[in-house]
């Protein structure tokens, strides 16, 4: 992975944690850098970014203040998604809310234009997102 792509990945992670960049802004930057998908592991507080050529990079993120709940609630995850989309909460609050809903991680497929949130026993909530221009 080249240093420019790595720098974009690291900045997108920091900017999300610090509420300096929204999800659509992050996706736009990642598309420019050639990132195809990323996985956010809420338990380990890290994200893994993937390029189409097989390269990947793991970046540490801000840890959760509380462990994810045992039981998964797709409705509560969806409510957190709607709250962040509406600008009522920032990313760190979003992570806390989805963890409280039992989410332990999520996969963002930029190529597939969707995010898949999952719990401890592989329950899922899938959220499509619009094309970023």
For the chain, 133 residues long, the average pLDDT of each consecutive 10-residue run is 94 95 93 96 97 96 93 98 94 96 97 96 91 47
Is 56 within a domain? yes
Q: Which domain holds residue 50?
A: 3-128
In a domain, 124, yes or no: yes
* Residue 62 forms part of a structural domain: yes
The whole-model pTM stands at 0.92
Would residue 133 count as lying in a domain? no
Closest CA to 27 of 66, 79, 85, 80: 85
Are 26 and 11 in contact by the 8 Å Cβ rule? The answer is: no
pLDDT tens for 54-72 read 999 999 999 999 999 999 9
pLDDT value, residue 132: 46
In a domain? residue 118: yes
C-alpha distance across the termini of the chain, in Å = 24
The pLDDT, as a whole number, for residue 32 is 95
Say if CB 78 and CB 127 are below 8 A apart: yes
CATH of the domain at 24: 3.30.1810.10
SS3 17: helix
Count structural domains, the chain. Answer: 1
In a domain, 97, yes or no: yes
Contact, 9 vs 108, CB < 8 A?
no
């Amino acid at each position: 992975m080249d240093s420019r792509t790595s720098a974009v990945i690291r900045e997108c992670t920091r900017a999300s944690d610090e509420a300096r960049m929204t999800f659509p802004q992050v996706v736009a930057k990642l598309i420019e850098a050639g990132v195809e998908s990323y996985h956010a592991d809420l338990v380990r507080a890290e994200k893994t970014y993937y390029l189409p050529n097989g390269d990947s990079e793991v970046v540490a993120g801000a840890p959760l203040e509380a462990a994810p709940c045992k039981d998964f609630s797709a409705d509560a995850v969806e409510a957190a998604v709607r709250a962040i989309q509406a600008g009522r909460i920032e990313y760190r609050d979003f992570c806390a809310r989805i963890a409280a809903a039992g989410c332990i991680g999520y996969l963002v497929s930029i190529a597939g234009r969707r995010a898949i949130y999952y719990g401890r026993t592989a329950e899922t909530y899938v959220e499509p997102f619009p094309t970023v221009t």
